[in-house]
């Protein structure tokens, strides 16, 4: 078996990452169809499922985006087959249309929607709390406290989904998805269901929101399920109330926040002194359990990761049932925790200490002193692209092309992928905000300042069109996106650009993989999630077919060719595209290792190097600079022999094996 989650051993105890635990839960429940689009911190759910799908006889796919994945999984659930979709926080924004509408008719086969949020925005462009989406859709939301619960909830979600005839939502967070914990395996449901279709199953026009009698009638049907869901929340073992006789202080904590809160109670020696309600269903909350707690205490501390999803519901209950109870949480009315950033066990312990008014040193003075010492030893370091990354070549060529185009203020609209690091800036450099009322040009040397705008997948190509139609004339308008992003989010936008005649130059940085999230295959890879060969899609042919008048393919390792291609595109009077194609270096290195291809690292001649630092400006992390000797050098262990630095050295000091 290619992964431990496929082992059919009831009672086996093993260490699983939260995402693997979710996958195991789905496997135990007999999932037959799984679809996803990668996104940290959720990707390992599908990676784990895809690794065992063939062995266990179910279907798994990487879809082209989350909306498609959601619809694929919804199709499975409509035909009565247990289905799963997973994604990261931002991915859910793509599925909202179908999500909010699918629930009007519900599902036939169990349907789990697993979403991994990212409080602290470690890997994301926002901190959004997707539990609100479950509330918005009026369905059950699970939130596990640990990896065991992640597995158990994922498993149970399928049974409950079939009972309610609605999808069940499971919200994970980075620290749960990516940390490992003890999980005990349950049995595996092995019987496979045959997909069936019945247009009027239990309700007329079940799978058609417009079907008679009306869309409204389907919303009424959705509401008819809510008492059933509330009843489950009330009786669920995942919501556990521990009332302590005489305790006047209570904690209501949800998901991983409840694990932190339990630890805080222990560290502060408050066991047996505080009443505790652990929430596993942040929507809907178990109202009777909450009310019992509220009625027994004077004040309550709310601990939850993200926004005040549970707190809003608790406060609204308290307004009628126990208006005198003081509730402290993240809401402005009585704030004890910030409504942004990530919880940590230390933060929760400190907050509880403050709440109960006891002195507590969560981090000892010794530890703080050590931390300060360590801080001094760490050199500030910016995020970089990999040594030999083809994006370095694309950005070098773009920078030179823009400079040669004249002294104007260009706009480079970024996008999401490894290349987004082109907008991360240099950590150590400080900038003051500008209040100019005209366009301002900022000079930069490294590629890490080349992107001027960056928000979400596919956003750059759209923004660039607005800039054009706003009649921005102070410089060229550029957009960049990777190959996975091209298929995920750019296609309708390109049609729009051609249709509405935007003069924009669009660079597709095609490295044949969805690299940033851990090298998942996509339509440019030639392989599916389950390892089957698949057609290789031609970005150029697609672009031409939708009317793009200028499409050129270049190799970003050839800096001159790439620069010329971009310059030509920028001169084109309409929407133009340059496909910068070169395999992701990490994949190239993997292939080279397998085929035992020897890579001869480049070196810099000490005699010829003048210390001009042009090679440093490529931004390749294999290139370093000896400030004392005023000479550049190349780290032979990380150099991939891409040749890009040799092409830009004005003194021809760089060569393979050179020194």
Ligand X SMILES: Cc1ncc(C[n+]2csc(CCOP(=O)(O)OP(=O)(O)O)c2C)c(N)n1
What is the contact surface with ligand X in residues (CB under 6 A)?
37-39, 88, 90-91, 94, 416-419, 457, 482-485, 509, 511, 513-517
Closest CB to ligand X among residues 88, 315 = 88
Work out how close the CB of 419 gets to ligand X at its nearest, in angstroms, rounded to a whole number.
5
Work out how close the CB of 329 gets to ligand X at its nearest, in angstroms, rounded to a whole number.
29
Residue 9, phi then psi, degrees to nearest 5: -130, 100
Q: What is the enclosing helix (H) or strand (E) of 260?
A: helix 256-267
Using CB atoms within 10 Å of the CB of residue 365, give its burial: 0 to 12 exposed, 13 to 18 middle, 19+ buried: exposed
Closest CB to ligand X among residues 86, 261 = 86
Work out how close the CB of 343 gets to ligand X at its nearest, in angstroms, rounded to a whole number.
23
Q: Please report where in the chains the tokens 């957009």 appear, as a residue.
A: 479
Work out how close the CB of 89 gets to ligand X at its nearest, in angstroms, rounded to a whole number.
8
Closest CB to ligand X among residues 30, 41 = 41
Work out how close the CB of 39 gets to ligand X at its nearest, in angstroms, rounded to a whole number.
3
Closest CB to ligand X among residues 270, 385 = 385
Closest CB to ligand X among residues 270, 461 = 461
Q: Please report where in the chains the tokens 């249709």 appear, as a residue.
A: 499
Closest CB to ligand X among residues 19, 322 = 19
Work out how close the CB of 434 gets to ligand X at its nearest, in angstroms, rounded to a whole number.
28
Question: What torsion, rounded to 10 degrees, do the Cα atoms 349, 350, 352, 358 define?
Answer: 120
Q: Please report where in the chains the tokens 């295959």 appear, as a residue.
A: 521
Closest CB to ligand X among residues 32, 522 = 522
Alpha carbons 284 and 265: distance in angstroms, whole number: 26
**Contact criterion met (CB below 8 Å) for 254 and 279:** yes
Work out how close the CB of 227 gets to ligand X at its nearest, in angstroms, rounded to a whole number.
34
Tokens of 625: 């600079």
Closest CB to ligand X among residues 65, 328 = 65
Parallel/antiparallel/unpaired status of strands 240-242 and 275-279: antiparallel
What are the residues whose beta carbons fall under 8 Å from the beta carbon of 60, sequence distance 6 or more?
A: 33, 34, 35, 46, 49, 50, 53, 529, 530
Closest CB to ligand X among residues 16, 457 = 457
Question: What torsion, rounded to 10 degrees, do the Cα atoms 639, 645, 649, 652 define?
Answer: 60
What are the residues whose beta carbons fall under 8 Å from the beta carbon of 322, sequence distance 6 or more?
A: 291, 294, 295
Work out how close the CB of 50 gets to ligand X at its nearest, in angstroms, rounded to a whole number.
15
Work out how close the CB of 620 gets to ligand X at its nearest, in angstroms, rounded to a whole number.
16
Q: Which residue(s) pair with 240 in the sheet?
A: 278
Output DSSP code: residue 244.
P
Alpha carbons 407 and 405: distance in angstroms, whole number: 7
């Amino acid at each position: 078996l290619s992964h431990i989650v496929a082992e059919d051993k009831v009672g086996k105890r093993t260490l699983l990452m939260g995402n693997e635990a979710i996958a195991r839960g789905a496997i135990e429940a007999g999932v037959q169809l799984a679809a996803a689009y990668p996104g940290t911190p959720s990707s390992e759910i599908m990676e784990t499922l895809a690794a065992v799908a063939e062995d266990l006889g179910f279907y798994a796919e990487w879809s082209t985006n989350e909306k498609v994945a959601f619809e694929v999984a919804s199709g499975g659930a409509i035909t009565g087959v247990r289905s799963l979709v997973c994604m990261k926080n931002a991915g859910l924004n793509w599925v909202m249309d179908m999500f909010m509408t699918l629930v009007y008719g519900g599902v036939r086969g169990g349907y789990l929607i697993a979403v991994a949020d990212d409080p602290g925005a470690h890997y994301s462009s926002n901190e959004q709390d997707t539990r609100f989406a479950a509330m918005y859709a009026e369905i059950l939301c699970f939130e596990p406290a640990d990896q065991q619960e992640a597995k158990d909830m994922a498993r149970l979600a399928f049974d409950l989904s079939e009972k309610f005839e609605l999808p069940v939502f499971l919200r994970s967070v980075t620290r749960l998805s990516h940390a490992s914990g003890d999980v005990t395996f349950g049995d595996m449901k092995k019987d496979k269901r045959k997909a069936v279709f019945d247009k009027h199953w239990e309700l007329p026009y079940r799978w058609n929101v417009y079907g008679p009698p009306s869309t409204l009638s389907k919303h009424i049907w959705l509401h008819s399920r809510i008492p059933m869901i509330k009843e489950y929340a009330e009786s669920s073992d995942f919501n556990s109330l521990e009332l302590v006789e005489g305790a006047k202080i209570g904690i209501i904590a949800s998901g991983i926040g409840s694990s932190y809160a339990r630890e805080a109670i222990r560290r502060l020696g408050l066991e047996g002194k505080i009443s505790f309600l652990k929430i596993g269903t942040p929507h809907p909350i178990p109202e009777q359990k909450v009310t019992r707690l509220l009625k027994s205490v004077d004040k309550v501390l709310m601990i939850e990761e993200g926004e005040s999803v549970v707190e809003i519901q608790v406060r609204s209950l308290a307004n009628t049932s126990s208006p005198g109870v003081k509730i402290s949480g993240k809401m402005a009315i009585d704030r004890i925790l910030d409504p942004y950033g990530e919880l940590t066990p230390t933060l929760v312990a400190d907050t509880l200490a403050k709440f109960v008014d006891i002195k507590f040193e969560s981090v000892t003075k010794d530890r703080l002193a050590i931390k300060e010492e360590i801080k001094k030893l760490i050199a500030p370091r910016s995020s970089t692209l990999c040594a030999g990354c083809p994006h370095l070549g694309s950005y070098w060529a773009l920078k030179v092309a823009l400079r040669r185009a004249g002294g104007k203020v260009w706009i480079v609209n970024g996008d999401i992928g490894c290349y987004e690091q082109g907008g991360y800036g240099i950590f150590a450099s400080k900038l003051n905000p500008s209040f100019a009322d005209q366009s301002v040009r900022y000079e930069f040397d490294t590629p890490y300042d080349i992107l001027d705008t960056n928000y979400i997948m596919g956003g750059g190509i759209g923004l660039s069109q607005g800039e054009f139609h706003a009649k921005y004339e102070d410089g060229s308008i550029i957009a960049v996106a990777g190959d996975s992003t091209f298929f995920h989010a750019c296609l309708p936008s390109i049609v729009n650009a051609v249709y509405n005649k935007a003069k924009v130059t669009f660079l597709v940085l095609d490295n044949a993989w969805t690299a940033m999230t851990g090298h998942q295959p996509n339509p440019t890879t030639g392989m599916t999630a389950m390892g089957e060969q698949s057609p290789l899609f031609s970005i150029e042919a697609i672009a031409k077919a939708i009317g793009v008048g200028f499409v050129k393919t270049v190799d970003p390792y050839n800096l001159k060719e790439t620069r010329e291609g971009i310059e030509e595109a920028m001169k084109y009077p309409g929407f133009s595209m340059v496909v910068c194609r070169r395999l992701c270096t990490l994949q190239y290195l993997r292939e080279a290792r397998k085929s035992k291809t020897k890579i001869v690292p480049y070196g810099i001649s000490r005699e010829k190097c003048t210390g001009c630092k042009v090679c440093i400006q490529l931004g390749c992390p294999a290139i370093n600079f000896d400030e004392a000797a005023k000479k550049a050098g190349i780290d032979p262990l990380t150099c991939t022999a891409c040749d890009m630095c040799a092409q830009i050295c004005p003194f021809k000091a760089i060569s393979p094996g050179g020194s």
